[in-house]
Chains A and B, each alone.
Chain A
């Protein structure tokens, strides 16, 4: 295995590669002119507007709903309650976890912000006016807010809609070997235990969720523009919910203003828009506002964990054990493969070679919005990596070892790959030490430690935090992974036109990750057509092949593989046609990017464009070859891809105000073959900013009555340009052996890897105060408490 290490410097992006490499984005010209087309930009003739009435309380029975005044309000076309939906069998819908979720509340409300009724009116102002006129009488119930009390015998039962449900238990899950882990712990020199909370946060894409539904009663066809990361999966779910056949549903995901996992689930608003259009016979637009987005759509994290690590006295890590309490809110809406109710949390063994590992998890219902898997978590790997990287630092603290040296001593070695973890995950490839060494070199690690020692002498608080992570992205093999019975494969279709231009159709859906550029590059690399001559289409279920969409950093591992393979399939056909054109056997042809050459006769060749014209044009084709030059495939990955990275964060903490300043952040990522380094760098920058937000600022908190305290950008604090440093990045290249072009996913790596690095840095800064752990978000007040020995969990 070869791994090369590089430091990224800003480069001139002007040149146009004929395949992989730095290349400016094909998406940008429309976006910089204000000519993107997002859902709220869609205007259809006669279009009406929908607004949703939401519950002001967390837990209450609905006694009555009076819509008389709302119906009489000017411009109102329809007012619909849960009871009315119930008569059509539409009051409840399946979630991506196989639970059910109320579209509109019928019996009771189960979280603040839950959908209770909707209004369709001539414009968005009239629709909002009418909401004020709906009179709902609630009979208040005690809410369950703290997951740690959800299973108490006296806790009120939230899900009394489920047959025979008499508690708030959602599911149990375990992985690893409990007994073997117990044995290792019992014999270990050192055991460190730490309670670690990953608080509830929210992906908060700049564009909120919304939809325009247009049901044509003559055609019997529903067209739905919506903010969806998984248009094909949504279409299938709508077919299941609404009883419309799939060929009569066209889901169109236009330009999406960021998704970050928020736009994977189906939300009641989408279903309401569809119902609204069917009821009124007009197109209906629903666009939620920011508060609605924060209070009711998919949250992220909310894991209360106890982490335990066993080691030898000299720092050999032997085992990790964890017990997790997962808060899933009122409905289990977690977007995860069916067999993985805790997502891929099983990778909590991290980048280390252990003798044993075990996790026991209990998930509970609470009176909060549903969600869990979102915000670039790669199906709970954020939580897994946070746990292992925090607990390894706790061990370093206990052993009084340098956390970098502790990691270097324990990282998996390249000859161990493919490596099967103690929880059964098969890491595809990794060469971890060069990645770690490069991060330390860019950071000037030893010099930083000297600087820190000097500052400590002067009473200044400086911290250096490290995280080394292994991600698991690219779900996934269809024998193991499906969402509601849909295998997690992805399709790709390539058509080469007569003049050698091409169109690629994807089943995945970009939300800013640059697919229109990079998928053209993948195909260009394989078939030699310049990326500018390749259009990439996605997001329209009538006109793209089936597949499961973009989340879990799965586009490159799954759909990227499909794109490379479909291009090779077309190239194979082109080779046969070329052999006919050149009157030589296929074996006598040599492919050099863009053309077939006759071996030993460099003057004789045909370009891929020549072949495209022949495939569509005059002249005979070799026997058995059809005209045209196109192919389609559906790629079933054999395994996930396992990118890795080494992150180092440097913080300064103001001893007077407890304000944390991230002074430097060094991120070295290894995602195998790099399709477009410019785009990867941007993905990493964005994810690191997520990390600063989660570690220092963001939290969706609740008061004891269940009022959401983070339901606007006044309280839910997202980093601006002033809270983040200029990022320092580097990379190593360890290709995935099973991927057609050796590429691994990367989009979520930085969001996964950065929070532990930042928290480790803050805890390191607070070492003079004897602080060995503090929970996110490390706001000034929480850091202040930690400095005074009064650190408290955030919930």
Chain B
């Protein structure tokens, strides 16, 4: 089937199989490989992108379901050359190591801060609780999001 959606502000139209997952559409069809695929049971959250401003696990959305909607990925997080405060916060506070969970974590963090510009540590932990990180032990991710809140 043919689908049209807006990805990071640009309209894209492609022919896809009905069953194609959004994560594979973004990665394999559009070449936006910042979004990752870490599990097959929708637990890990490495594939989190925005669908009409809401963080979703793109492994659990069909590409066809995103047709007519607006998708934002990690590649669309920076405003041109200027990094989002969340991206700066992850670098400043060592909120990433291997970098595999990072795009999903940052998309969730940005969505949190858009709704709650001054979240507590517990609110941050709850916001990212649908996402697994194997490297950081989360404390520096929490600090990264706090840094972004303070420096926004």
Which residues of A pack against B, CB within 8 Å?
A: 10, 13-14, 24-25, 27-38, 40-41, 43, 123-125, 204-208, 255-258, 260, 289-291, 511-514, 678-679, 681-690, 712-714, 718, 720-722, 724, 726-727
A-B contact count (CB 8 A): 183
Cα separation A726 to B97 with both chains bound (whole Å): 18
Given contacts A32-B87, A32-B106, 20 further A-B contacts (CB under 8 A): A13-B94, A32-B96, A32-B99, A33-B34, A33-B75, A33-B78, A34-B33, A37-B33, A205-B98, A207-B38, A513-B97, A682-B94, A682-B136, A682-B137, A718-B134, A720-B128, A720-B132, A721-B125, A724-B138, A727-B137
**Minimal Cβ-Cβ distance residue in A for B34:** A34
Q: Verify B34–A726 contact, CB threshold 8 A.
A: no
Chain A residues near B135 (CB-CB < 8 A)? 258, 512, 682, 686
Q: Verify B36–A257 contact, CB threshold 8 A.
A: yes
Q: How far is the CB of B77 from chain A (nearest CB, A)?
A: 8
B96-152 CB contacts (< 8 Å) to partner A: 96-103, 106, 121, 124-126, 128-143
Q: How far is the CB of B84 from chain A (nearest CB, A)?
A: 9
Q: Verify B124–A681 contact, CB threshold 8 A.
A: no
Q: How far is the CB of B86 from chain A (nearest CB, A)?
A: 8
Cα separation A512 to B134 with both chains bound (whole Å): 10
Cα separation A720 to B44 with both chains bound (whole Å): 9
Cα separation A444 to B89 with both chains bound (whole Å): 32
Q: Verify B83–A34 contact, CB threshold 8 A.
A: no
Cα separation A681 to B138 with both chains bound (whole Å): 12
Q: Verify B132–A125 contact, CB threshold 8 A.
A: no
The reply to whether the CB of B39 lies closer than 8 angstroms to some CB of chain A is yes
Q: Verify B94–A681 contact, CB threshold 8 A.
A: yes
Q: Verify B137–A724 contact, CB threshold 8 A.
A: yes
Q: Verify A29–B91 contact, CB threshold 8 A.
A: yes
Q: Verify A34–B73 contact, CB threshold 8 A.
A: yes
The reply to whether the CB of B79 lies closer than 8 angstroms to some CB of chain A is no
Q: A255-B99, A682-B97, A721-B129 are in contact. Are A291 and B136 (CB under 8 A)?
A: no
Chain B residues near A256 (CB-CB < 8 A)? 98
B80-96 CB contacts (< 8 Å) to partner A: 83, 87, 90-94, 96
Chain B residues near A514 (CB-CB < 8 A)? 97
Q: How far is the CB of A81 from chain B (nearest CB, A)?
A: 25
The reply to whether the CB of B37 lies closer than 8 angstroms to some CB of chain A is yes
Chain A residues near B91 (CB-CB < 8 A)? 24-25, 28-29, 32
**Minimal Cβ-Cβ distance residue in A for B126:** A722
**Minimal Cβ-Cβ distance residue in A for B37:** A40
Chain A residues near B141 (CB-CB < 8 A)? 721
Cα separation A740 to B135 with both chains bound (whole Å): 28
23 contacts across the A-B interface (CB closer than 8 A): A13-B94, A32-B106, A34-B33, A38-B100, A40-B27, A124-B24, A206-B38, A255-B98, A256-B98, A257-B99, A260-B134, A290-B44, A512-B99, A514-B97, A686-B134, A687-B137, A688-B137, A690-B134, A712-B41, A713-B39, A718-B134, A720-B138, A724-B139
**Minimal Cβ-Cβ distance residue in A for B21:** A125
Cα separation A714 to B129 with both chains bound (whole Å): 14
Chain A residues near B39 (CB-CB < 8 A)? 289-290, 712-713
Most A CB contacts (10 A, CB to CB) among B74, B101, B132, B135 go to B135
Cα separation A512 to B94 with both chains bound (whole Å): 11
Q: Verify A25–B94 contact, CB threshold 8 A.
A: yes
Q: A28-B91, A512-B99 are in contact. Are A258 and B134 (CB under 8 A)?
A: yes
Candidates B41, B96, B125; contact of A31 at CB < 8 Å: B96
Q: Verify A713–B134 contact, CB threshold 8 A.
A: no
Cα separation A35 to B32 with both chains bound (whole Å): 9
Q: Verify B32–A34 contact, CB threshold 8 A.
A: yes
B14-51 CB contacts (< 8 Å) to partner A: 17, 19-20, 24, 27-28, 31-41, 43-44, 46
Most A CB contacts (10 A, CB to CB) among B20, B43, B98, B100 go to B98
Q: Nearest 5 CB-CB pairs, A to B?
A: A34-B34, A512-B98, A257-B100, A31-B99, A685-B137
Q: Verify A686–B137 contact, CB threshold 8 A.
A: yes
Q: Verify B20–A206 contact, CB threshold 8 A.
A: no
Chain B residues near A257 (CB-CB < 8 A)? 36, 38, 98-100
Chain A residues near B40 (CB-CB < 8 A)? 289-291, 712
Cα separation A512 to B37 with both chains bound (whole Å): 17
Chain B residues near A686 (CB-CB < 8 A)? 97, 134-137
Cα separation A36 to B90 with both chains bound (whole Å): 15
Q: Verify A682–B140 contact, CB threshold 8 A.
A: yes
**Minimal Cβ-Cβ distance residue in B for A693:** B134
Chain B residues near A13 (CB-CB < 8 A)? 92-94
**Minimal Cβ-Cβ distance residue in B for A205:** B134
Chain B residues near A124 (CB-CB < 8 A)? 24, 28
Chain B residues near A204 (CB-CB < 8 A)? 134
Q: Verify A35–B34 contact, CB threshold 8 A.
A: yes
**Minimal Cβ-Cβ distance residue in A for B138:** A721
Q: How far is the CB of B80 from chain A (nearest CB, A)?
A: 12
Q: Verify B129–A10 contact, CB threshold 8 A.
A: no
